[in-house]
Chains A and B, each alone.
Chain A
């Protein structure tokens, strides 16, 4: 069974640029969540996708957007990068069910984004 993978591992961008980060969820998982973890802080929830639909969003501006594909892999896009966007971006996958229930999230290793 393959775990959650993310690419790239590291990325350096300049202010104002756009970036796309990618995540492959664990086999059998249909839900993907994205988090931003600044240095010395805990992960902050950006948004979640369940069966290709956005299923919840945290307190992040619209320049943070995402997609989930039919194979349940996902992308996080950030436009107009700012210096404060420098962080570790984590993807987590889980098995979503209805009705609402708690499901364990499995995290990938993250993509470290540096904005200069």
Chain B
């Protein structure tokens, strides 16, 4: 079993839909939970990060962390074709002198007009 599980999709939705992306994990030592967006042939770009459990909102994006269930989610409201990308969840625990993220495999999202 991988430390971080993420459904690769693809997930195809119409423009304007609410998108729900999820990850589960097994390592209870994870403290920071991140969501990255990666366009084709580009590096990942951080969308949001959360420390411990709870919700965080930034514009159309909402991140949720449920540590008791070891489950994290990213919601995208009013999805746009420009949101079409691969979404990577990542989570980190102290590792030596830093926090090293462990990534999921990513979910491919397609938003069609």
Which A residues have a C-beta under 8 Å from some C-beta of B? 4, 31, 33, 40-45, 48, 50, 55-56, 58, 90, 92, 96, 98, 100-110, 112
A45 lies within 8 A of B43 (CB): no
Query: CB-CB < 8 A to A104: which residues of B?
Result: 46, 49
Which B residues have a C-beta under 8 Å from some C-beta of A? 4, 6, 8, 31-32, 41-46, 49, 51, 88, 90, 92, 94-106
Query: CB-CB < 8 A to B99: which residues of A?
Result: 100-103
| Contact with A48, one of B6, B45, B90, B100 (Cβ below 8 angstroms) | B100
Lowest 8 A-B CB distances belong to which pairs? A42-B103, A107-B43, A56-B96, A102-B99, A42-B105, A55-B97, A102-B32, A107-B44
| Contact with A45, one of B42, B100, B105 (Cβ below 8 angstroms) | B100
Query: CB-CB < 8 A to A98: which residues of B?
Result: 97
B95 lies within 8 A of A42 (CB): no
Q: Can you sample 15 A-B contacts with CB below 8 Å?
A: A4-B43, A33-B100, A41-B105, A43-B44, A50-B97, A55-B98, A100-B97, A102-B31, A102-B32, A105-B46, A105-B101, A107-B43, A109-B42, A110-B41, A112-B41
Give Cα A76 to B6, complex, Å. 28
Give Cα A108 to B45, complex, Å. 9
Question: Taking the nearest CB of chain B, how far is it from the CB of A60, in angstroms?
Answer: 13
B100 lies within 8 A of A109 (CB): no
- Given A42-B88, A42-B104, A102-B92: A56 touches B41 (CB 8 Å cut-off): no
Inter-chain residue pair count (beta carbon < 8 A): 71
Query: CB-CB < 8 A to B51: which residues of A?
Result: 102
Question: Taking the nearest CB of chain B, how far is it from the CB of A105, in angstroms?
Answer: 7
- Given A55-B96, A56-B95: A40 touches B8 (CB 8 Å cut-off): yes
Question: Taking the nearest CB of chain B, how far is it from the CB of A98, in angstroms?
Answer: 8
Give Cα A67 to B102, complex, Å. 22
- Beyond contacts A42-B4, A45-B102: 16 other A-B pairs, Cβ-Cβ < 8 A, are A4-B43, A41-B105, A41-B106, A42-B104, A43-B44, A43-B88, A48-B98, A50-B97, A56-B96, A56-B97, A102-B99, A105-B46, A105-B101, A107-B43, A107-B44, A109-B41
